[in-house]
Amino acid sequence: MPHSDFIQLMKEKAETVQAIVSKINHMEQAFRYTIDLTQKQGGKTVAATGLKPSESRLLKKACEASELELLEFPLRSHTHEIHTSLTPVDWGIAETGTLVIDSSSEDVRIATMLAETHIAVLPASKIKPDSESLEKELNAVLMADTPSYYAFITGASRTADIERVLAIGVHGPQELHILIVEEDSE
Amino acid sequence: MIKTAQDMKSYKKQLKEALSDQFLRTALDNFYTAYRENRSAVYDGIDFESIKKEIATEKDGALPYLEDLYEEFKVHAETAGAKVHIARNAQQANEIITAIAKENNVKKIVKSKSMTAEETFLNDHLEKEGFTVTETDLGEWIIQLRKEGPSHMVLPAIHLSRHQVGDLFADVTGKKQNSEDIDKLVKVARQELRPTYLAADMGISGANFAIAESGSLGLVTNEGNMRLVTTMPRVHVALVGYDKLIPNLKTMLRILKVLPRNATGQAITSYVTWIKGAVECGASPSNRKVMHVVFLDNGRLALAKDPVFSPALRCIRCGACANVCPVYSKVGGHKYGHVYIGAIGLILTLFYHGIENDRVIVQNCINCQACREVCPVDIDLPHLIKKTYRAVLDQDGKTPAKNFILSRVMKNRRLFHFILRQAHLAQKPLARKGPMIRHLPNFFEKRHGFRSLPVIAETPFRDQWKHLRKHLVRPKYTVALFAGCAVDFIYPEHARALVTLLERHRVQVEFPKDQTCCGLPASMAAEEATARDLALQNIRAVQPEKYDYILTLCASCASHLKHNGFKIFKKDSDWLEKLKEFSDKIIDFSSFMVNVLDVSSEGIKATHKKVAYHAPCHLCRGLQVTTEPRKLIQLAGYTYIRSKDEDVCCGFGGSYSIDFPEISAEILKKKLDNVEDTPAELLVTDCPGCVLQLRGGMNKRGGKIQVKHIAELLAETKQ
């Protein structure tokens, strides 16, 4: 299977679990997407992890221009007020539309757990066909002597605990947006 | 609190209540059908049979080394800052967790779902010690508020309606709730529980996996509450059964292929999380989580060494054995287990919660094999349930009257057959010349009256045989007919139909006269010694070396004779070779016609009558024969009409339908409703037990659809 097929599979599988998937070419588009979506949903705040200092400054400026607040770290002091989170993704798993995120940093955990809307940025080159093909990478993290918190995220949080009716958005984010970055098309 | 029946009388009362709970009945019926449909879709492209065998091998391989895996886990987890404990029993686990809470000045605790914590009744213990404990999984929160136990391992509140949840949430919030809007009810939980995570000092979780080589826990969830429980509070305690220890990540990834698919029909859950050691935590003064892992033994290490029961420890708690169980689908989890429910619950309860909680419920298995087929770790659940029942009888040192009589009578073929012949005379006045007894005499309880009963034949097949036997010159095959008691004594016409039919195909039929009961009823009553004795009698009587095949008209006999002998003979028995020859030659009617005789529709006058089919449990699952009977119906010139849930049990289950007539009647009703929903004029099956149940039920309800054994159908075709 050529890699472009995995990108397509990733998109399809993520969409079957109610993730909203778009393709972008660079980070600035992700910022625009984040701000537009937050405004559309009536949110006031954005939490972003994993950005370079220059990107962070850029996002802060853009947020301010749109009357949104880019929340400062540590996010634990903002647990009541995170509307949108924007986080990078380490890997994608096409077979199931899964995002793989090293969440050992508490800020990453809080951003991906407490936000109403989670926007995840996934480089197309990081999409693997299945979980087995990530075994080595994942095991390298787990086998290190340091503590770790590692996550597979597939779609928004969900339950079927009342009459087996599927409801999206229980305790975790109510929406999951995936932005696939296709660098080679730049 | 969980109130599991401790005697049959109160159990019967509980069952009656469950059967009259209309919401529960509809919810479970819908779930039963939907689960099976979703599951087959989500396994598309996955080789379930191979994966389950691989997982079973890996899990079994780890069982003798659980204590080594524990040590390995401990070293790695502690290097990363966790503290790892052993709890020998439930009390110790609860005490260790209480001590951790006290040590850390904990007041408020949030919990994510853990069956292991349900097993130890951890919440009760912590609340008695003065802690506030809040369950955060939606279903668990609901049942905690209602002070109930879970009725399903994956869907703990499946027994409740949206209205019951709406009323409960109205009480909790002090605001009226719109119960029709399930999305809004879910949001109530989101809003109510959010502050609880943030205010909690300690989070308690379970784990699906404890990976020894890295000292990390693996957790498989959907709602996101477990992630908050393990992130927000400064202390995290994971309570994990020893059976969750696996050697490496590879094993976990393999199990992850089947766990969500089997549990909820998902390719993967929303969240799969690995936690290792004391991760960063801003709520803790040290900025590191206070992390503890408590491994619970509670009988697991002994179970791991048990030559019979150790496979029960393979269980990965997917809950599927309940989802496909026709009995569960009628009575629900509160009546089908103690803490652990479903087929695996009937087994584990004896080991984790004592004989008093298992003595009665363990008897409620209809042996339809649906759980064995769906189990993703290849546990022979029906077999272990019978073994569990045997262990209960042995521990109690009692032999129920039924077992005593059954063993005594069955072992002596002449006595057994004498009694069957006498039964014909006793029944005669009741039948009033017809083939059925529609109204049972008064000494039977009313609940047995859900089906008409057939009359024992005046002349059993064995007495008709000397007049029927024909000697064929140069036959194509020589087969022994293993009639089984039902065909021999109730439906000799099925066997006559077979003999006529096979003569047309130039097959020499013999009827070894000393054959007796196949032994399945003895196995079902956990009378293994009797079953073994009967197996020997049959091998001696039939002399398998003389025949090309041993043909049966009864799927239950066939499946028992083919597979169960190997489970009841000792591994070094002198009879194994003979048993194998016997077992290898067993064949069911449809397979013989289609695969051996290769019958065709040539020369057959097609009637195109519409025929529905009921797949007997012991044919479609026991012998895995599924295409042949359907093909045969069509070859015989009939139009095969598919009905809903064709491969679901008819509710017979031999003596099950006498022990639990209320449940048998409900399963039968659903089956007949499904058949009557089709335009079929005939209902065909290939097991005399199913014929008895289906024909009796159809007769009782005055239905128009005729029920026939497939051999009768074939014999009626016109050339």
| Domain annotation covers residue B603 | no
Phi-psi region of A154 (alpha: psi -120 to 50; beta: other; left: phi over 0): beta
Instruction: Give the count of Cβ contacts less than 8 A between chain A and B.
Output: 175
Beta pairing partners, B245 = B210
What DSSP line would sit under chain A, residue for residue? --HHHHHHHHHHHHHHTT-EEEEESSHHHHHHHHHHHHHHTT--EEEE-S--HHHHHHHHHHHHHTT-EEPPSPGGGGTT---EEEEE-SEEETTTTEEEEE--SHHHHHHHHH-SEEEEEEEGGGEESSGGGGHHHHHHHHHSSS-EEEEEE-SS-EE-TTTT--EE-SSS-SEEEEEEE-GGG-
Which of B154, B225, B271, B293 has the highest number of chain A CBs within 10 A, making it the mutation to test binding with A?
B271
Same domain, B323 and B193: no
Confidence of residue A185 (pLDDT cuts 50, 70, 90): very low
pLDDT for B444:
65
Q: Does A178 touch chain B (CB under 8 A)?
A: no
Q: Is the pLDDT of residue B291 over 60?
A: yes
Residues on chain B touching A167 (C-beta within 8 angstroms) = 182-183, 186
Q: B684 is in which domain, residue-wise?
A: 610-715
- Cα dihedral B521, B527, B528, B530 sign: negative
| Domain annotation covers residue B265 | yes
Q: Is the pLDDT of residue B432 over 90?
A: no
What is the tens place of the pLDDT at every residue in B384-393? Answer: 999 999 999 9
Name B567's Cβ contacts closer than 8 Å, sequence gap at least 6: B380, B383
Single out the residue in B240, B271, B301 at which a domain terminates: B301
Single out the residue in B301, B335, B352 at which a domain terminates: B301
Confidence of residue B301 (pLDDT cuts 50, 70, 90): very high
Q: Is the pLDDT of residue B96 over 80?
A: yes
Same domain, B333 and B264: no
Same domain, B127 and B208: yes
| Domain annotation covers residue B706 | yes
CB atoms within 10 A of CB B552: 30
Please count the residues of chain A.
186
pLDDT for B442:
65
The mean pLDDT of chain A is 96
Residues 68-107 of A with CB under 8 A from B: 74, 76, 79-80, 95-96, 98, 104-106
Six token digits for residue B478: 């020589």
pLDDT for B433:
66
Strands A158-159 and B507-510 turn out to be: unpaired
**Amino acid making up residue B112:** S
| Domain annotation covers residue B309 | no
Contact B142, A170 (CB under 8 A): no
Q: Does B212 touch chain A (CB under 8 A)?
A: no
pLDDT for A186:
41
Judge if the upstream peptide bond of residue B435 is cis by omega within 30 degrees of 0.
Answer: no
Contact B278, B291 (CB under 8 A): yes
| Domain annotation covers residue B36 | yes
Same domain, B166 and B288: yes
Rounded to whole angstroms, the Cα distance separating B528 from B455 reads 29
Q: What is A3-185's CATH number, 3.30.470.10, 1.25.40.10, 3.90.1150.10, 3.40.50.10420?
A: 3.40.50.10420
The closest alpha carbon to B338, from B364, B315, B312, B313, belongs to B364
Rounded to whole angstroms, the Cα distance separating A126 from A103 reads 17
Q: Is the pLDDT of residue A124 over 90?
A: yes
Out of A96, A149, A172, the one facing B267 most closely (by C-beta) is A96
> Lowest mean pLDDT: which of B138-147, B450-459, B676-685, B703-712?
B450-459
User: Does the predicted interface ipTM exceed a cut of 0.85?
Assistant: yes
Same domain, B558 and B438: yes
What is the tens place of the pLDDT at every residue in B318-353? Answer: 999 999 999 999 999 999 999 999 999 999 999 999
- CATH number of the domain to which B617 belongs: 3.40.50
Residues 171-210 of B with CB under 8 A from A: 182-183, 185-187, 189-190, 193-194, 198
The closest alpha carbon to B334, from B1, B699, B690, B691, belongs to B1
pLDDT for B428:
75
Same domain, B92 and B230: yes
The number of domains in chain B is 4
- CATH number of the domain to which B543 belongs: 3.40.50.1860
Q: Does A149 touch chain B (CB under 8 A)?
A: yes
Q: Is the pLDDT of residue A184 over 60?
A: no
